Amino acid sequence: MDPSFLVLQALSGFASASSQFIIASGLTIVFGVTRIVNFAHGSFYMLGAYLAVTIVPRLLDVSYSPAAFFLGVLLSALLVGLIGVAVEVLLLRRIYRVPELFQLLATFGVVLIVEDLVLKVWGPVDIAGPRAPSLRHGVEILGQRFPAYELVLIAVGPLVLGLLWLLMHRTRFGVLIRAATQDREMVGALGVNQARLFTLTLFLGASLAGLGGALQIPRLPANAHMDLSVITDAFVVTVIGGMGSVPGAFVAALLIGQLQAFGILIFPKVTLVLVFALMAVVLVVKPWGLFGRPEAASGRVMPPEGIPGLRRFRPAETVLAGLAVLALLAVPLLGDAYKVKVATEILVFALAAFSLQFLVGVGGLVSFGHAAYFGLGAYAAGLLVTGPFKAPMELALVAAPLAAGIGAALFGFFIVRLSGIYLAMLTLAFGQIVYAICFQWVEVTGGDNGVVGVWPSSWASGRTTYFYLVAALSLTAIVALRRVIYAPFGYTLRAARDSATRAEAIGLDVRTHRWLAFTLAGAAAGLAGGLYAFMKGSIDPTLTGIPLSIDFLVMVLVGGIQTVMGPLVGAAFFHALKDAVMPLTEFWRLLLGLAIIATVLAFPRGLAGAAESLRGRKAGLEPVEASA
């Protein structure tokens, strides 16, 4: 291979490493100080790009010079910093003490809101930015042309690293950031004004994201999908580098930049997979990332999130549950075809949400990529009936949970080695791997378009018949899973969640039980995915994506993470609401985002949890602890 080609490839790797570092450094600083993994960081990046494509051309009209260009970029970054301040003051400040799952969801609410606002303000069409004056052309390197702007980018990364180092070591603010990253409680105990420290940190973090976005405009048009794609990359960089470590983010960005630059030559189809594989390997060898440190023990025992205790149905609840099932089963008799479709979807999502609750509420394993297993089931079923095999639906519905279970067992092997926020990030990363495979492996999966023609066998092809098939399988699976929660296996998972140390000391193999649980929950989600594929008649990558994973989490959250049956209520409520509201408004995401944030702020225990508290209060008792 031509050496000059290799040099250029390396240079472009450095350029992308610079961009990734600038974005990830902001994320990692914010995490270090506030302990919040901020999904909205991707939105800050997107806003930086949109502001820059708006501001920079105006400044260039005044004075066509590189100075005007970079002034515009900086201005955009600072404006985004101010937006970050607003997000901190309005939202984050209120959720520092909320369980981390809710923090993640609340910041994802911001993502949804910003997406819709951006669409409203800037429209759905991509907006190309101006190129930087005097940097529009290529520079000759070893006889090849290399874009001059990319060279500037290569320099900006180390420049930002240097400035951050000065800030961290030469200013009081920087010293406080470092101190808070090591021990937030101690910083508070020493009388530091935490509110101001956090606000300034958000300003810094958001500005860096905005800078990253603004610097992209000559390379990448501003578009409304930038946020989620960049946040996954930024997560990967921060997690590989070690959460909270700026130098770690720099090293990780360099590694990933080069891996992508050269990986594309060897495996053009699977660059995304390469990056996530790197992440998986790093996390297994160094569970806290290259430069990260284990979470400092906070010295207090936190009550576990999730289901606090189990009890049996009360007689009234048994009647209520029976009536709900009967009402659902009566839908085809009373409702039209559309209502039957919605009811089928509710049954499918109820199973998916319940399987997620099995992980989150019982096992304490917060998965941000549960749609991956739903999607694996859907793809296994869809590809089996449409591909060269032309398998019947019955076989495909057996294969769906099997394939998803195998996928969950494979990913779970790595995932259960971690805990807390790292575990959540790894589930998200594996989810993105599945998404990337479905998206990139066009020959098999149909890529972005997916595969159509996934129809049930003829005996089940009527809407009503298929509804009853889904009802039978879904309800059976839910009842079985519920049974497992009340069985020794479910108790063991809860025991490991409450105190892994005690569980090991009475001879329980925590990791193996969690791995089995992950596999079981994956298989259940896979069955739901398979059923969904036949209902919709097609499969596409959105079935594996982050937004669907978040939908599942919202169902669990809305229904009440502390309840056993709540997620079923959550699935029904959420899906019915989405179905009713989405056609009426162009602001579905904005409304959903606001609703998520409001739910997190108002009822951190969810709807069913709130109902239980209410009942407890009426009876003049303490809130009921156990859940059925």
Q: How far apart are CA 378 and CA 401, in angstroms?
A: 9
Handedness of CA 277, 283, 288, 292 (dihedral sign): negative
Residue 409 engages another protein in binding (rule: CB under 8 A): no
User: With respect to another protein, which residue has the nearer C-beta, 337 or 487?
Assistant: 487
CA–CA dist 434, 373 (Å, integer): 9
Q: Which residues contact 110 (CB under 8 A, 6 or more apart)?
A: 39, 40, 43, 87, 91, 593, 597
- Report if residue 297 touches another protein, rule: CB under 8 A: no
**Using rule CB under 8 A, residue 489 touches another protein:** yes
Angle between helices 271-285 and 393-415 (to 10 degrees): 50
**456 is an interface residue for another protein by CB under 8 A:** no
Q: Which is nearer to another protein, 326 or 501 (CB)?
A: 501
CA torsion sign for 480, 482, 486, 491 is positive
* Closer of 189 and 501 to another protein (Cβ): 501
> C-alpha 387: how far from its chain's center?
31
Tell me whether residue 259 or residue 310 sits nearer to another protein (CB atom). 310
Does the protein bind another protein through residue 589 (CB under 8 A)? no
Three-state secondary structure readout of 126-157: CECCCCCCCCCCEEEECCEEEEHHHHHHHHHH
The yes or no reply on residue 483 touching another protein (CB under 8 A) is yes
Q: Applying CB under 8 A, does 609 fall inside the site for another protein?
A: no
CB 510 → another protein: shortest distance, Å?
8
Q: Which is nearer to another protein, 313 or 455 (CB)?
A: 313
Of 95-103, 305-313, 335-343, 575-583, the segment contacting another protein by CB under 8 A is 305-313
Nearest CB to another protein, comparing residues 384 and 624 = 624
Nearer residue to another protein within complex by CB, 309 or 392:
309
CB distance 340 to 332 below 8 Å:
yes
Contact call for residue 484 and another protein (CB under 8 A): yes
The answer to whether 496 and 503 have CB atoms below 8 angstroms apart is yes
Q: Does 292 bind another protein (CB under 8 A)?
A: no
- Residue 479 binds another protein, judged by CB under 8 A: no
Of the CA atoms within 13 Å of residue 407, those in its CB half-sphere come to: 33
* 372 contacts 430 by C-beta, under 8 angstroms: yes
Question: With contacts defined by CB under 8 A, how many residues of the chain interact with another protein?
Answer: 35
Binding segment for another protein (CB under 8 A), chosen from 3-11, 76-84, 491-499, 585-593, is: 491-499
Rounded to 5°, the CA angle 52-58-63 comes to 115
Token couple for 241? 């580098």
Residue whose pair of structure tokens reads 């169902």 in the numeric block: 555
Residue type, 451: V
Q: Which tokens sit at 137?
A: 């052309």
Q: Are 575 and 554 in contact (CB under 8 A)?
A: no
Binding piece for another protein, criterion CB under 8 A, among 68-76, 248-256, 264-272, 505-513: 505-513
The reply on whether position 317 binds another protein by CB under 8 A is no
Instruction: Select the residue interacting with another protein from 131, 370, 494, 605 (CB under 8 A).
Output: 494
Task: For residue 328, count CB atoms less than 10 angstroms from its CB and return exposed for 0-12, middle for 13-18, buried for 19 or more.
Answer: middle
Question: Does residue 563 touch another protein according to CB under 8 A?
Answer: no
CA 205-209-210 angle, to 5 degrees, is 115
| Under rule CB under 8 A, residue 303 binds another protein | yes
User: What distance in Å separates the CA atoms of residue 527 and residue 533, rounded to the nearest whole number?
Assistant: 10
Q: Residue 501 interacts with another protein (CB under 8 A)?
A: yes
Dist. CA 579–CA 348, nearest whole Å: 14
Told to check if 413 binds another protein by CB under 8 A, we report no
Among 138, 309, 335, 420, binds another protein (CB under 8 A): 309
**Is 136 an interacting residue with respect to another protein (CB under 8 A)?**
no
Q: Please select the residue that binds another protein; options are 329, 516, 581, 610, rule is CB under 8 A.
A: 516
Rounded least distance, CB 626 to another protein, Å: 8
For another protein, the binding residue among 62, 301, 602, 621 (CB under 8 A) is 301
Q: Does 509 bind another protein (CB under 8 A)?
A: yes
Q: How many residues does the chain have?
A: 628
Residue span 155-194 as binding mask against another protein, x where in contact by CB under 8 A, dash where not: ----------------------------------------
Choose, by CB under 8 A, the member of 492, 519, 544, 599 that binds another protein: 492
CB-based contact 425:415 (threshold 8 Å): no
Binding another protein (rule: CB under 8 A), the pick from 26, 147, 308, 530 is 308
Stretch that binds another protein, among 244-252, 329-337, 442-450, 506-514 (CB under 8 A): 506-514
Q: What is the dihedral of CA 412, 418, 419, 421, to 10 degrees?
A: -100
Backbone angles phi, psi at 451, to 5 degrees: -130, 135
Using the rule CB under 8 A, is 304 a contact of another protein? Answer: yes
- Evaluate the CA torsion angle 521, 526, 532, 536 in order and state its sign: positive
Contact track, another protein, 71-110, x by CB under 8 A = ----------------------------------------
Q: Is 313 an interacting residue with respect to another protein (CB under 8 A)?
A: no
Residues binding another protein (CB under 8 A): 301, 303-304, 306-310, 480, 483-484, 486-492, 494-495, 497-499, 501-509, 513, 516, 625
